[in-house]
Amino acid sequence: MIIRFRNYLYFKGNKLGIGLCALFLALSCSEEKKVSHLDSVNWEKKYIDLPATDTLMKGSSYLSIYSSIYDGTEKTLHHLTATASMRNVSHTDSIYVLKAEYYNTKGDLIRTYFNQPIFLKPLETIEIVIDQDDKYGGTGANFVFNWAVKSNNHEPIFEAVMISTTGQQGISFTTRGIKL
């Protein structure tokens, strides 16, 4: 269709039409795909100042993420969608996640999702989604979460689900965070 359109414009000599065609082609080729959910508005709704009067126990947890896995050989990669879940297992108290950092296979920081405390109300779960097209993490990606809880509370649970489907083939598996 574009070839016909170009030929038609060429034979007619319509400069306005040629300009519109060039603009259309430029816009269709330069569209940049988002590779991860980075909607800071959602995090901003969760920001909170840590309670000054409470004694909080602080810690860090490590969560492995596989944004890619080897498929057949070490030269072929299969890319996955990963969902990192932050879970408050307390049914009475909020917990606080202070920072969420995402690292690649080489240990380089890819991005920080938030760098100030957010709260999770009792039994709440929030997620970070690493899109299948986000190949920055690689086969050994990971998160480090800094968190705080009241001293008598359970520590948060960090889990990941990795999934991909191609045609009739599907793959999925999970990982669970460990306290550092």
CA 44 to chain centre: 16
Beta bridge partners of 96: 119, 148
Confidence class of residue 166 from pLDDT cuts 50, 70 and 90?
confident
Whose tokens are 């993420």? That residue is: 65
| pLDDT, tens digit (0-9, with 9 covering 90-100), for 47-103 | 888 877 668 999 999 999 999 988 888 888 888 999 999 999 999 999 999 999 999
- Collect all residues with Cβ–Cβ distance below 8 Å to 178 and sequence separation of at least 6: 61, 62
In CATH, the architecture of 40-179 is Sandwich (2.60)
pLDDT at 26 over 70: no
**What is residue 28's DSSP assignment?**
H
CB of 86 within 8 A of CB of 47?
no
DSSP 8-state class, residue 138: G
Where are the domain boundaries for CATH 2.60.290.11 in the chain? 40-179
**Rg of the chain in Å (alpha carbons):** 23
Separation CA 178–CA 157 (nearest Å) = 9
Task: Please provide the average confidence, as pLDDT, over all residues in the chain.
Answer: 81
Count of Cβ atoms closer than 10 Å to residue 18 Cβ: 15
Burial of 59 (0-12, 13-18, 19+ CB in 10 A): middle
pLDDT on residue 19? 53
- Single pTM value for the model: 0.75
